[in-house]
Amino acid sequence: MTSGKQLLFRTGDHDDDDIAAVVAIPGHDKIYGTVLDIFTDGLSIEFDSLAELPLGEIVPLELVRSDMPEPVHLSAVVESRREGSEHRHYGFRFSSRRELMDQLSRGLYNILNRRQAQRVQLGLPLDISLTPHGRCVPVEAQLSEISLLGVSLTIERRFEVLFMSTNRFTLTAQLPSSTDEGDEAEFERVSLELRVQNRSLAGKHGVRYGCAFAFARPNAQAKACALTDYLMRREQRQGAQTAIG
């Protein structure tokens, strides 16, 4: 998998946390394994048996867990193989990012918990606006960390008096309306409801909020996926540019 990958999910320490993976190639017996990690660009799976999958092939994957409303179906390229004493680990690269984000919004969100959702610290914070519940005047903020379940953001401390009486915020950001993110890219406004879980001082003049996405409204998960996907891709581009420079 690529060097710019970011970890989204790591399986838990108990069997109840396992995500079962099934490789279902038409005309062949199904191959069963367990998901170890999910990244922005792929995933790693451990197979109990010495599974044989050709590198470079696109294979259909089915991810299943007891508390998922329905299986998640993805296609991925077999990218690497690592031998173990009793298991064989394969690395897969998602063949379609759009398919991944669609499936995340439909199913994978429902199996994540705060311990499993990996946080990504942004090298370049995203400027956003933040509006406390019950007010209509937004405050400028910086988003510095994101996971599939929420964000960490910072405002100037002088504005905290507007937020201290509520734990419900609205985050608003401008995101490219397509994968074309050049100078001429068109942007659209995305708003997400947040619930504050913790707050603390950030230096002398800031307040940092740890917030979870609130998914009560229609399309909320899809919007959270769009924000997460955009920031992940931006971090990957920045990492690649830094490596070249």
Same structural domain for residues 160 and 103? no
Q: For residue 2, tell me if it sits in a domain.
A: no
87-101, 104-118, 125-139, 140-154, range with the lowest pLDDT: 104-118
3-state secondary structure of 211: strand
Structure tokens belonging to residue 199: 């707050």
Would you state the pLDDT for residue 208? 95
| Total number of residues shown for the chain | 245
Phi, psi angle pair for 159, to nearest 5°: -95, -5
- Dihedral class, residue 238 (left if φ above 0, else alpha if ψ from -120 to 50, else beta): alpha
Same structural domain for residues 102 and 132? no
Same structural domain for residues 198 and 238? yes
What's the gap between Cα 111 and its chain centre?
Answer: 13
Instruction: Give the end-to-end CA distance of the chain in Å, rounded to a whole number.
Output: 22
68-77, 103-112, 208-217, range with the lowest pLDDT: 103-112
Q: For residue 105, tell me if it sits in a domain.
A: yes
Q: For residue 82, tell me if it sits in a domain.
A: yes
Contact 199, 210 (CB under 8 A): yes
Would you state the pLDDT for residue 82? 92
- Dihedral class, residue 203 (left if φ above 0, else alpha if ψ from -120 to 50, else beta): left
Q: For residue 1, tell me if it sits in a domain.
A: no
Non-local CB neighbours of 102 within 8 Å, separated by 6+ positions: 225
Same structural domain for residues 145 and 59? no
Q: For residue 147, tell me if it sits in a domain.
A: yes
- How many structural domains are present in the chain? 2
**pLDDT tens digits for 53-72?**
999 999 999 988 776 777 88
Would you state the pLDDT for residue 73? 86
Quick count: other Cβ atoms within 10 Å of Cβ 189? 10
Give CA angle at 48 (42, 49), nearest 5°: 105
3-state secondary structure of 85: coil
Would you state the pLDDT for residue 172? 94
Q: Which of 111, 139, 167 is the last residue of a domain?
A: 111
**pLDDT tens digits for 142-167?**
998 887 778 999 999 999 999 999 99
Same structural domain for residues 91 and 28? yes
* % of residues, the chain, pLDDT over 70: 76
Same structural domain for residues 157 and 217? yes
85: domain range? 7-111
Q: For residue 44, tell me if it sits in a domain.
A: yes
Same structural domain for residues 152 and 199? yes
**pLDDT tens digits for 174-186?**
887 665 555 456 7
Q: What's the CATH code of the domain at 174?
A: 2.40.10.220
Contact 179, 232 (CB under 8 A): no
Residues 120, 99, 182, 149, CA torsion sign: negative
